[in-house]
């Protein structure tokens, strides 16, 4: 219940924020993303100016976020128009903010792992401390649901067979290298960094890809709101044309695209990834314009079973008509 109250507060704060006044055609289209390689198309599109130069986008303003809830709060409050984000925050926001949010394209599939230092089974995790990037985020739900399937009890109040602590990805890496946690369920490149950074090691106990039919599940999707579609559809379609080009470039030239992602990542963080880490991380990522609706529905079901959300009906969440329009106009 404490978590539900927290999540409700987050959304209420977002809904209650002062909404932007009516926007005109000369106002900038506002795009959000995170400085994370699972937001690969956004990193390259921003760094190389592909979004801004795509005909029809117009004036563009790019905003960086560190986590999904903050980006979704901005989107619902009307201070953001489009964003790259994980599936957990998008589902939660859709269900708790008047079903306004829309998933309009897939971006990245795969790339989440449970790395452990010593434990080689779920049973061996009992009594230990694990971490996830945020309470109730995509990886936190994945870890708790997997543990539940393995018969390992975890509770949202911190009790249970093991302890799960919320830490930022960078803090997870630091704590793992120092021996402060047994492991973590994290997106790439953090899993590979835990394995390959000096002082790291251990093993991938679970590659989340192995848990989904055909190994397909979305890690990052592109979202907007129903209102933004109504008022700025043509500009969002133009933005998606750039997203499609970036995705196809990744498919055709994966190594060169990974290098471009690392260059953009390095510009933003001042810490480009070392080649072995970049290669290891990208080996688990897959570009995908398909948000895999069946996996979104399953993820919503998992979140409901864990009492993160009150319902799992996400009918209306996915709207691929803009993506189809973007691809049709390009062909």
What confidence tens digit (pLDDT) does each residue in 176-187 have? Answer: 999 999 999 999
> Could you give the CA distance from residue 141 to residue 73 in angstroms, rounded to a whole number?
20
- Token digits of residue 77: 């409050």
Q: With a cut of 50, which residues of the chain have pLDDT below it?
A: 1-18
> Could you give the CA distance from residue 37 to residue 262 in angstroms, rounded to a whole number?
8
Listed residue (13, 232, 212, 285) closest to 102, CA to CA: 232
pLDDT at 195: 98
pLDDT at 7: 42
pLDDT at 6: 37
Sheet-wide strand order for 82-85:
60-64, 29-33, 82-85, 218-225, 101-110, 285-287
* Phi–psi pair at 204, nearest 5 degrees: -80, 105
pLDDT at 8: 38
Sheet-wide strand order for 183-187:
163-166, 129-132, 183-187, 112-116, 203-207
pLDDT at 233: 96
pLDDT tens across 5-62, in order?
334 333 333 333 445 555 666 899 999 998 889 999 999 999 999 999 999 999 999 9
pLDDT at 10: 39
> Could you give the CA distance from residue 331 to residue 316 in angstroms, rounded to a whole number?
27
First to last CA, the chain: 50
């Amino acid at each position: 219940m404490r978590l539900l109250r927290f999540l409700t507060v987050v959304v209420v704060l977002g809904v209650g924020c002062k909404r932007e006044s009516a926007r005109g055609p000369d106002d900038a289209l506002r795009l959000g993303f995170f400085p994370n390689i699972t937001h690969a198309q956004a990193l390259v599109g921003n760094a190389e100016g592909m979004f801004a130069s795509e005909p029809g986008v117009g004036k563009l303003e790019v905003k960086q976020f560190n986590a999904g809830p903050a980006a979704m709060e901005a989107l619902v409050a009307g201070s953001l128009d489009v964003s790259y984000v994980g599936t957990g925050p998008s589902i939660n926001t859709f269900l708790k903010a008047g079903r306004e949010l829309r998933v309009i394209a897939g971006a990245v599939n795969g790339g989440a792992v449970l790395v452990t230092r010593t434990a080689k089974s779920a049973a061996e995790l009992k009594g230990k401390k694990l971490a996830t990037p945020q309470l109730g985020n995509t990886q936190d739900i994945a870890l708790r649901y997997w543990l539940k399937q393995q018969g390992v009890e975890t509770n949202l109040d911190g009790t249970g067979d093991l302890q799960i602590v919320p830490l930022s990805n960078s803090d997870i890496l630091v704590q793992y290298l120092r021996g402060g946690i047994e492991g973590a369920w994290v997106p790439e490149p953090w899993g590979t960094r835990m394995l390959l950074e000096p002082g790291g090691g251990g093993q991938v106990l679970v590659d989340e890809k192995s848990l989904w039919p055909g190994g397909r599940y979305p890690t990052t999707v592109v979202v907007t709101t129903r209102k933004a579609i109504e008022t700025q559809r043509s500009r969002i379609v133009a933005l998606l044309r750039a997203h499609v080009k970036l995705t196809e470039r990744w498919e055709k030239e994966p190594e060169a695209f990974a290098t471009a992602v690392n260059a953009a990542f390095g510009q933003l963080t001042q810490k480009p990834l070392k080649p072995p880490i970049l290669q290891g991380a990208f080996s688990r990522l897959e570009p995908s314009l398909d948000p895999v609706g069946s996996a979104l529905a399953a993820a919503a079901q998992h979140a409901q079973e864990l009492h993160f959300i009150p319902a799992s009906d996400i009918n209306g969440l996915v709207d691929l008509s803009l993506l189809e329009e973007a691809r049709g106009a390009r062909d």
